[in-house]
Structure 1
Amino acid sequence: MRLPAAIEINEHDLKVVLARSFAKQQVSDCIVQRIEGLTDAQISKAIADIFRKEKIKPKPLLVCIPRSLVTIRNLYLPSHDEAEIQQMLQLHISRIVPYQKEEVVYDYALLGVDAMNSTELILAIAHRDILKKHMNIVQGADLYIDTMSLSSCAVWERVMFAQKAETNISELYLILDADVSSTDFIICSHDHLLFTRGMTLDIEKCVRENQIMRLTGEVRQSLALFHSEETRKNPSKIFLSGAPAIQQLEQVFKQEFEIPVQYVPGRVPAGATDYTSLTAVSEMALAKNTKRITFTLPELQISKTLRDRTKDITVLGSLAIYFFAILLLFFLGMSQREQAYLQRLSQHNAAIHDSIGSMLDQYHRTELIKECLAHRKVGMILLRELIDLLPDKIAITYLAIDGSGIMTLRGQSMQLSDVFTFISSLENSKYFKDASTKYTRTKKVADREVAEFEVTLHPETPA
């Protein structure tokens, strides 16, 4: 079964959220496992075991990159052209992180234009090795990543969606998403994530050992950093999310910051501690969003392209095989129908032959007799025509028809003119054609001159 799924891997926990579908917006299951001290191969096996047990092949599979693993800065750039912005970002990245540009992967989100007509954006930079580690762990479980996105974006989406009725488009809000060893500090509006900072704090110690002042101090410091980079007003409300234990600090934040504070409940499965946040990973599994900051490894993009092309080729090949199979079945069916029809005709013919066998033999004999009589009749008709055309003064001395059907006539006449008249009559007859004179000559017989002739012609079979 293919369902959306999201994975988050940090130094303490492996989090897996399975959704019924993007459309239903319902979580099917949540799994949290401690992975401290495990190797990458062991984590891969744990992921594979989870999906094997659930009998799910995730599609799509989204990976949540924790805020603590990403460097984020707010920038103002004096350009609105995308190509120029990309060039400026290359220069800023080399100043922000101590890595070569080939060692990092970055993405950014546009926030608008400030009073100086500069483009405001939030830039996120992740080291390539961190992303490759996530990719290798997931691929080690025989799974393939569709998207890797920043956790802060998903937290912002989740809280704003859950508190849609409680937010105003013109106000700013502070979100504190608490996890086992870190808390994500987020300043946002209804439409944009404006600022985020990772605070390294053990939420369990803050709650159990009464280190709340350290947490509030970190929040005040983060607010000061926000105002040093952004000339914006203060947040109008604080939303607490993530680990359920942070709900215990709701009254403390109200007293410290003197603004409304509201806890946004998350989805915590049985077995997960009160100090684990599933806000980001659950939101990624539940909803698609093109505004998220995503990190695209070239290796991951190539692998995805190859999988898509392989899938297309497989589908095309399957369709071609199906088409040829249908054609083959069609022609085989036609051939079988023709053979069956021929067999039925043969059987019918045999039945007819059995029923009228003697009559058929008698018919063949009758036809043979008729054919013989017809040939004899032809000869009689031709002879009759020849007698009618023959003048009284001409005597036929020889008449023969050879195997090719050519008739030869020889005869005598007292005058040559009678011979020519006879030949003309033969040419005009409907029973003879191609009359040709072989010779005409005269000779003396008993002191008289006699004309001899020979004529060949083709007899026509009478209709």
Structure 2
Amino acid sequence: MATRLAVEWTRGSVRVAVAEGGGSRWRLRSVRSQPMPSGADVAAALRSLAAASAVGSAEEVIGVLPREQVITRIVRFPSTDAAEIAQMAELYAKAQLPYTRDQAVVDSRVLRQEQGFSTVALVACQRDLAERHLAVLRDAGLSCAAVTVSSWGVLAWCLGAVLAHAAPEPVLIVNIDDTRTDFVLIAGRRLLASRSIAQGAHEWQGLSETAELLVTEVERTRGTLRKELPGTEARSLILTGLGALAQWREPVAQRLGLPVTVIEAAQAVEIPVEGVPISPVAVAGVAVSEPGGVVNLSPSEARTQLRQHRQLREFAMVGGMLAGAVVLGAALLGLGVLRDQRMAGRLDHAVKTLEPKARQVRDRGRSVQLVRALFDERRRFAATLAGIFRATPPPVTLEALTVEQARREIVLRGIAASTQTVLDYIQQLERLEGVEAVELKYSTSRSTSSGERTDFELVLRPRGVPS
């Protein structure tokens, strides 16, 4: 089973995603991240994350460029022939890019074809940018197979995760990461258009007008789409990544007049993300993307070198397999039929002797597994309780904590300085790893000699409650 490593870094963090599989079937194994202070050594951080992910030498490494660092053009060519489209794309790149052709790396994808015309997405970046990206990966000990763009990672993630939500197409996906936000329009399993802004959860954290800012950026994106793809309109919107997405959903839906689906960062992939909070959408999407499903902005020289290395590795592997086959055949010919019979008799006797002991060991193993499962459940519950106490701010006083075993719930009763304090407390509890949902049963404000107080009762549904 092959291993693929997707690598991405932003102004605030570096992250890697590991997938296993081959061909068009890849399964995400892990996603890890760590903070990236200004001026930090990206290569050293990548080496640390790769070692923590236990990937060894991955068969395929893909780097991810931020969408805002590349240029995308939507062009209509009067042909449906692949060779002619490639020639037209090359001519367009030479004439229309803001830098010379030898200073650029270009890739293209056909979006749709109708009536003898092809709508093509051209993606380009400066060669220096791609080479610097590859140099960082080489310094980290990683041999990069391709360099793609974050918006195409969002597409690959959409094909694997979002289609199950049956969102009406074309669907506009808004992926909010730590320091950037991608806007990607997808329909018919293709990326129609995309844009990005260098603002993310770090810049929007704590702002009361975040929903308004999102609406403004979505409207700008829709305006750009109308110019590049006349007649194409987003019919639904998906909010994913970091931030208070659930709170923004309703105002965004009302302002835009579109159905809005929220997919939290923790729900975006089927495995937990280890490390600092990030949106795993782009890097995880690249890790599980199908062959040719994302653009490749790796320079042609790097592609040639990589192809030669792969051929040498394949030749060495085939030679080793042939040598092993010869040695194995010689060893098999040296065995006699009589020795096989004697060995079979010994094995039968050994199996009969060991069968009762093996049964005892199996029974004991089941008991150990049951005990271990019980201890694991207790530990998870203890961790949830510890997280509740850590998340309780000074303005909140807990008067009672009750575990309702029959309903698998934790009931919190207490006093807070205000109703807003209670709401903020609920948000903090919802972000705890072990908490599945938080419900406010009641909240009552009253006046006391020391000022206004709010009595409240919360019901938490943790993911693991001991029975």
Report the TM-score when normalising by structure 1: 0.63
2-structure distance, mates of 1:113, 1:11: 38
Aligned to 2:415: none
Report 1:246-265 matches (<5 A): 246-265=245-264
Q: 1:319 to 1:30 in 2, by over 3 A?
A: closer
Q: Is residue 2:294 matched to residue 1:296?
A: no
Q: 1:142 to 1:204 in 2, by over 3 A?
A: closer
Aligned to 2:38: 37
Aligned to 1:448: none
> How far 1:21 moved relative to its partner?
4.0
Aligned to 1:28: 29
SS at match of 1:208: coil
Give the one of 180, 183, 206 matched to 1:182. Answer: 180
For the 8 Å contact 1:78–1:119, the answer to whether it is kept is: yes
Aligned to 1:60: 60
Report the TM-score when normalising by structure 2: 0.63
Amino acid at match of 1:255: Q
Aligned to 1:372: none
> How far 1:251 moved relative to its partner?
1.5
> How far 1:50 moved relative to its partner?
2.3
Aligned to 1:241: 240
2-structure distance, mates of 1:138, 1:155: 22
> How far 1:136 moved relative to its partner?
1.3
Aligned to 2:194: 196
Aligned to 2:346: none
> How far 1:290 moved relative to its partner?
2.4
Q: Deviations over 1:20-52 (max 9, x none)?
A: 54688653322212223336xx32222222223
Amino acid at match of 1:28: R
Q: 1:83 to 1:25 in 2, by over 3 A?
A: closer
Aligned to 1:91: 91
2-structure distance, mates of 1:233, 1:287: 25
Amino acid at match of 2:292: T
Q: 1:314 to 1:224 in 2, by over 3 A?
A: same
For the 8 Å contact 1:160–1:190, the answer to whether it is kept is: no
2-structure distance, mates of 1:332, 1:118: 68
Of Structure 1 and Structure 2, the greater strand share is in: 2
> How far 1:295 moved relative to its partner?
2.1
Structure 2 unaligned spans of 5+: 336-467
Q: Is residue 2:111 matched to residue 1:111?
A: yes
Aligned length: 328
Structure 1 unaligned spans of 5+: 334-463
Aligned to 2:354: none
> How far 1:181 moved relative to its partner?
2.3
Give the one of 269, 280, 283 matched to 1:281. Answer: 283
> How far 1:125 moved relative to its partner?
0.6
Q: Is residue 2:161 matched to residue 1:162?
A: yes
Report 1:121-140 matches (<5 A): 121-140=120-139
Q: 1:76 to 1:12 in 2, by over 3 A?
A: same
For the 8 Å contact 2:89–2:108, the answer to whether it is kept is: no
Q: 1:18 to 1:330 in 2, by over 3 A?
A: closer
Report 1:6-21 matches (<5 A): 6-21=6-21
2-structure distance, mates of 1:270, 1:316: 38
**Structural RMSD (CA):** 3.0
For the 8 Å contact 1:16–1:31, the answer to whether it is kept is: yes
For the 8 Å contact 1:188–1:194, the answer to whether it is kept is: yes
> How far 1:120 moved relative to its partner?
0.7
Runs of 4+ in 1 over 6 A off after TM superposition: 326-333
Amino acid at match of 2:89: L
Amino acid at match of 1:281: V
Q: Is residue 2:157 matched to residue 1:150?
A: no
**179-188 vs 49-58, greater mean Cα deviation:** 49-58
Q: 1:251 to 1:160 in 2, by over 3 A?
A: farther
> How far 1:222 moved relative to its partner?
1.5
Aligned to 1:100: 100
For the 8 Å contact 2:152–2:191, the answer to whether it is kept is: yes
SS at match of 1:264: strand
> How far 1:8 moved relative to its partner?
0.8
SS at match of 1:123: strand
For the 8 Å contact 1:168–1:190, the answer to whether it is kept is: no
2-structure distance, mates of 1:37, 1:140: 19
For the 8 Å contact 1:175–1:187, the answer to whether it is kept is: yes
